[in-house]
């Protein structure tokens, strides 16, 4: 028990310094070094306990504050974020706790998460590095957990959305961002498409959850962003996600698409989306997919096209030329979903709408 005793004696500064030193050492060693790993694991476990307490012992807020100050001072989070995948198994979770507690930390009475604030202002690279955790299976889950914790704040979402690669390796200051300027498509946000599409199941699923959080929890921000980057976003979304080879990715992204479109905040995005005949084609193919949950999720996007009172000519043309087919197809479409009342209602509504289509496309009254 000698080592435990020694560790208990490490003060906050020593603990943080030691952790940082070991983390960097771990990242530099080409081959695994069990001794370093072991000691780092002890340090991180200790740090976790000091930040989180144990079931039996509550933490002292004063001590948490001190420890976090040292963590910031030493810029420990950055080293950790870059090296989570190198940590031993349990230490990854400990590191996750360190991050989460730090990001959640608010001084008594304050509404501002102090540490997170600092990170956004001075060390946004930490957030970007956490996203890069999706590059590896080992780090995906802990990083994802931390990211979703941080994504409770709009500024983190903004940071991810407006990230652009800069030559000197720095990240952009959020103050400089012009939201009307289209994205280059090379920032970290766009890499999510690859993580979702290419990753192992857990990575992909976790990345998707984070992706969904970015897109659904920051409505005003995202609405603006999607309008500016409409073509880039939906081209990628349609080709990489909606038409993904992976069943899970495909199904989840169609569902998310429906959620995005039907969100009031995204009204303009939605109208623009449902004007496109190309989009309609993609969605109509989903209705014919041989997997019924794909059909079902596709339906919830399709209905937006049909229910739109100002259908574009392109959309009308497709619907009209398929009118007979649709009227034959829809009544039997997923007809075993009898317990889904809303679905049945919506289906009959769509049928009625399609019946009432004019014989030839009529330009919408306020066509742009």
Partner 1 sequence: MAEAYTVLEELGSGSFGTVYKAIEKATGETVAIKLIDLENSSDELSDIQAEIGLLSTCKSPYVTEYKTSFVKGVKLWIVMEFLGGGSALDLMKPGPFSEAHVAVVCKQLLLGLEYLHSTGKIHRDIKAANVLLTDSGKVKLADFGVAAQLNDYKSQRHTFVGTPYWMAPEVIQEAGYDFKADVWSLGITAVEMVKGEPPNAQIHAMKALFVIPKNPPPRLEGDNYSRDFKDFIAQCLIKDPDRRASAKELLEHRFIKRAGKTEAMRELIERKQMFDAQQETTTHLKYYEETMVDLSPRTEDDGWIFDTIKQASIAPARQNMQAPSRRKMSRISSSDGGPAPMMQRMDMNAAPLGSVTDSPIPERRRPSSRKSSEATVVHEDPSTMPTVRRVSNVPKQPLGVDLTFGNSPSTVRHFKRVSSGERRTALSANNPPGANPFHPNPHAKTFRPSPPDSANPLDDPNDENSPPAPVYPPAPVTKDALYGRRAYGKVLDSVFQEAYANSASPHQREALGGVHQAWAQLDLVDPQGEFMLMKAMIDRLQSDSKLASALGISVSPAPTPKHTTKNSESLSGTTVHGTSTTRIRSSTTTTSTYSKTSGEHTSSPREPSFQSPVSTPSRTKSPSPLKGPKFILAQSNPHLKSHRRRQSGVVGGEKVYDRALDEKKLPGHVEPGMEQQGLLADILYGQWMQGLRSRWPLA
Q: Within 13 A of 112's CA, how many CA atoms are on the CB side?
A: 7
Torsion-angle region of 85 (φ positive above 0: left; ψ -120 to 50: alpha; else: beta): alpha
Count residues contacting partner 1 (CB under 8 A)?
80
Smallest separation (angstroms) from partner 1 to the CB of 168: 36
Q: How far from the centroid of its chain's Cα atoms is residue 308's Cα?
A: 29
Q: Tell me whether residue 58 or residue 62 sits nearer to partner 1 (CB atom).
A: 58
User: Considering only 46-54, 120-128, 190-198, 222-230, which stretch makes contact with partner 1 by CB under 8 A?
Assistant: 46-54
Count of all residues that appear for the chain in the document = 368
Smallest separation (angstroms) from partner 1 to the CB of 231: 20
Interacting positions 61-120 with partner 1 (CB under 8 A):
89-90, 93, 100
Smallest separation (angstroms) from partner 1 to the CB of 285: 5
Element (H, E) at 275: none
Smallest separation (angstroms) from partner 1 to the CB of 282: 9
Among 52, 114, 183, 276, binds partner 1 (CB under 8 A): 52
Q: What is the dihedral of CA 197, 202, 205, 209, to 10 degrees?
A: -130
Q: Tell me whether residue 115 or residue 159 sits nearer to partner 1 (CB atom).
A: 115
In angstroms, the CA 111 to CA 91 distance is 30
Q: What is the dihedral of CA 299, 304, 310, 311, to 10 degrees?
A: -40
Interacting positions 171-190 with partner 1 (CB under 8 A):
none
Smallest separation (angstroms) from partner 1 to the CB of 251: 7
Binding mask 256-295 for partner 1 (x = CB under 8 A): --xx--x-x------------x---x--xx-xxxxxxx-x
Interacting positions 199-258 with partner 1 (CB under 8 A):
200-202, 205-206, 209, 243, 246-248, 251-252, 255, 258
Burial of 73: CB neighbours in 10 Å, binned 0-12, 13-18, 19+: exposed
Task: Tell me how crowded residue 18 is: count the other CB atoms within 10 A of its CB.
Answer: 18
Q: Tell me whether residue 87 or residue 158 sits nearer to partner 1 (CB atom).
A: 87
Cβ contacts of 50-59, under 8 Å, gap ≥ 24? 50/12, 50/15, 51/97, 51/98, 51/101, 51/102, 52/97, 52/101
324 binds partner 1 (CB under 8 A): yes
Q: Tell me whether residue 14 or residue 345 sits nearer to partner 1 (CB atom).
A: 345
Q: Are 182 and 229 in contact (CB under 8 A)?
A: yes
Among 136, 217, 219, 317, binds partner 1 (CB under 8 A): 317
Smallest separation (angstroms) from partner 1 to the CB of 37: 14
> In 3D, which of 308, 289, 140, 11 has the Cα closest to residue 318?
308
User: Considering only 61-69, 77-85, 121-129, 329-337, which stretch makes contact with partner 1 by CB under 8 A?
Assistant: 329-337
Q: Tell me whether residue 158 or residue 269 sits nearer to partner 1 (CB atom).
A: 269
The dihedrals phi and psi of 119, each to the nearest 5 degrees, come to: -60, -45
Smallest separation (angstroms) from partner 1 to the CB of 161: 21
Interacting positions 118-157 with partner 1 (CB under 8 A):
141
Smallest separation (angstroms) from partner 1 to the CB of 201: 5
DSSP string, 253-319: HHHHHHHHHT-GGGHHHHHHHHT-HHHHHHHHHHHT-SSHHHHHHHHHHHHHHHH-SS--HHHHHHH
Smallest separation (angstroms) from partner 1 to the CB of 17: 26
């Amino acid at each position: 028990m000698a080592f435990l005793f020694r560790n208990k004696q490490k003060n906050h500064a020593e603990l943080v310094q030691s952790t940082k030193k070991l983390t960097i050492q771990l990242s530099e060693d080409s081959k695994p070094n069990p001794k370093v790993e072991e000691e780092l694991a002890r340090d991180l476990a200790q740090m976790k306990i000091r930040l989180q307490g144990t079931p039996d012992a509550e933490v002292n807020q004063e001590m948490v504050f001190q420890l976090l100050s040292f963590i910031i001072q030493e810029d420990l989070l950055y080293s950790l974020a870059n090296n989570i995948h190198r940590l031993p198994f349990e230490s990854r979770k400990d590191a996750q706790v360190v991050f989460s507690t730090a990001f959640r930390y608010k001084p008594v009475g304050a509404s501002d998460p102090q540490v997170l604030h600092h990170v956004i202002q001075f060390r946004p690279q930490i957030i970007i590095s956490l996203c890069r955790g999706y590059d590896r299976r080992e780090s995906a889950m802990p990083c994802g957990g931390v990211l979703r914790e941080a994504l409770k704040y709009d500024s983190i979402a903004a940071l991810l959305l407006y990230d652009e690669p800069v030559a000197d390796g720095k990240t952009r200051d959020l103050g400089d961002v012009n939201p009307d300027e289209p994205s280059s498509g090379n920032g970290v946000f766009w890499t999510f498409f690859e993580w979702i599409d290419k990753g192992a199941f857990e990575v992909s699923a976790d990345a998707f959850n984070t992706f969904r959080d970015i897109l659904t929890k920051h409505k005003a921000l995202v609405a603006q962003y999607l309008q500016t980057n409409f073509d880039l976003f939906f081209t990628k979304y349609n080709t990489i996600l909606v038409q993904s080879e992976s069943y899970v990715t495909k199904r989840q992204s169609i569902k998310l698409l429906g959620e995005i479109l039907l969100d009031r905040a995204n009204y303009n995005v939605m109208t623009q989306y449902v004007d496109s005949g190309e989009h309609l084609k993609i969605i109509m193919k989903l209705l014919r997919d041989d997997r019924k949950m794909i059909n079902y999720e596709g339906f919830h996007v399709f209905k937006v096209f049909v229910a739109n009172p100002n259908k574009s000519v392109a959309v009308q043309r497709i619907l009209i030329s398929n009118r007979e087919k649709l009227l034959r197809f829809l009544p039997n479409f997923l007809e075993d979903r009898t317990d889904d009342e809303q679905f049945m209602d919506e289906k009959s509504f769509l049928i009625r709408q399609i019946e009432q289509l004019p014989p030839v496309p009529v330009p919408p009254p306020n066509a742009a």
